[in-house]
């Protein structure tokens, strides 16, 4: 069985007998649901030592499992007239301050109203890198996370910026409020992440997951929570949210990872969590000059911060992140 250039091929050799069913094994290695894994097995996209097996088969030590995931059935992505807050733009790239509630790219269940639909609707070029459904995207933000997102307009810029991101030369810092209090003024969480084996819609700390590292710095301590600056050293799905939940201090308003209770006390809307990509730094792909972009807290988080701080004057502060020294930082924080 060979994979076309549009397919994803995953190979794995078992180091020891695990008594795990083939469908469970494939689901874990391919980060898909067990139902999806069973479908791949039934349709001949999974082999064990070159042979097809049933979903209930239990691979043994030394056997090679090959999974070929066919490309998803595509559909045309159309441009839409959706206003965007573009904070920087030139011939090579643009940076958008994405609102909470906007999905970044089309996918089943969200084929319209996404950031990509809006980008296409603006006209102009976008890099082909990322594929038809993710043109130009260098990184992503969760639907209910707001803030700065980097987009390349041409393939050269996409290659350079993607490489810089992989080499951790694109610096991303987030403003976040967590429930409870960190034990110290700063904390680095270095725990691997993967799909939650019990819930494929969630991520979790998993020993065999991908390396993930986040540094949190406390900027203010309130009665019920902390205002933090989060620095992503890696960029795994839901990384900040999972890491804070793992240390017992979930993001305020985060239903998925245990921080949803009490959202109404600070005036946040359903599904909104207090996480904002406020600061983005990188070298321009053509000129090499430093680009430093900042996005103030959106109105809902601004108001929520004043409430959790118990300080009404913060509601009229033109830039509470500057007030709390969010941008006063060493390069390694």
**CA 320 centroid distance within chain:** 25
| CB atoms near residue 162 (< 10 Å) | 20
User: How far is residue 120 from each of residues 151, 155, 269, measured CA to CA in Å?
Assistant: 12, 16, 29
**Contact criterion met (CB below 8 Å) for 15 and 61:** yes
Please confirm, yes or no, whether 190 is among the known catalytic residues: no
Nearest Cα residue to 172 out of 134, 201, 145, 135:
145
Nearest Cα residue to 228 out of 213, 238, 237, 241:
241
Query: Distance (Å, rounded) from C-alpha 249 to C-alpha 177?
Result: 9
**Contact criterion met (CB below 8 Å) for 117 and 106:** yes
Among 142, 144, 226, 300, the one annotated catalytic? 142
- Strand 193-196, strand 186-190: pairing: unpaired
38-72 b/e with 16+ CB inside 10 Å = b?
bebbeeebbbbeeeebebebbbeeebebbbbbeee
Residue owning tokens 């700390």 = 205
Nearest Cα residue to 159 out of 136, 141, 140:
136
Q: What are phi and psi of 186, to 5 degrees?
A: -145, 155
Query: Distance (Å, rounded) from C-alpha 250 to C-alpha 293?
Result: 27
Q: Helix axis angle, 22-30 relative to 34-42, nearest 10°?
A: 110
- Catalytic sites, residue numbers: 142
């Amino acid at each position: 069985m060979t994979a076309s250039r549009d397919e994803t091929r995953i190979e794995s050799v078992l180091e020891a007998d695990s008594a795990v069913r083939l469908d469970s094994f494939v689901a874990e290695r391919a980060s898909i649901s067990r139902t999806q894994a069973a479908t791949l097995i039934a349709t001949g996209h999974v082999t064990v030592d070159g042979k097809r097996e049933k979903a209930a088969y239990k691979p043994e030590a030394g056997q090679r499992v090959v999974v070929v995931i066919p490309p998803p059935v595509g559909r045309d992505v159309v441009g839409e007239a959706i206003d965007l807050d573009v904070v920087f733009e030139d011939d090579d790239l643009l940076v958008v301050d994405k609102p909470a509630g906007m999905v970044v790219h089309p996918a089943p269940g969200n084929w319209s109203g996404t950031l990509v639909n809006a980008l296409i609707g603006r006209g102009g070029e976008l890099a082909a890198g990322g594929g038809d459904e993710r043109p130009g995207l260098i990184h992503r933000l969760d639907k209910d996370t707001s803030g700065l997102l980097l987009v390349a307009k041409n393939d050269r810029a996409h290659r350079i910026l993607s490489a810089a991101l992989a080499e951790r030369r694109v610096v991303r810092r987030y403003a976040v409020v967590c429930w409870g209090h960190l034990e110290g003024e700063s904390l680095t969480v270095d725990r691997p992440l993967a799909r939650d084996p019990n819930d494929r819609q969630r991520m979790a700390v998993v020993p065999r997951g991908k390396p993930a590292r986040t540094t949190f710095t406390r900027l203010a301590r309130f009665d019920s929570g902390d205002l933090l600056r989060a620095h992503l050293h890696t960029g795994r799905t839901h990384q900040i949210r999972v890491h804070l939940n793992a240390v017992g201090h979930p993001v305020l308003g985060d239903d998925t990872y245990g921080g949803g209770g009490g959202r109404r006390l600070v005036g946040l809307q359903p599904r909104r969590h207090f996480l904002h990509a406020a600061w983005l730094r990188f070298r321009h792909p053509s000129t090499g000059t430093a680009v430093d972009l900042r996005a103030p807290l959106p109105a809902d988080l601004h108001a929520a911060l004043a409430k959790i701080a118990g300080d009404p004057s913060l509601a009229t502060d033109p830039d509470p992140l500057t007030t709390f020294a969010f941008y006063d930082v060493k390069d390694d924080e």
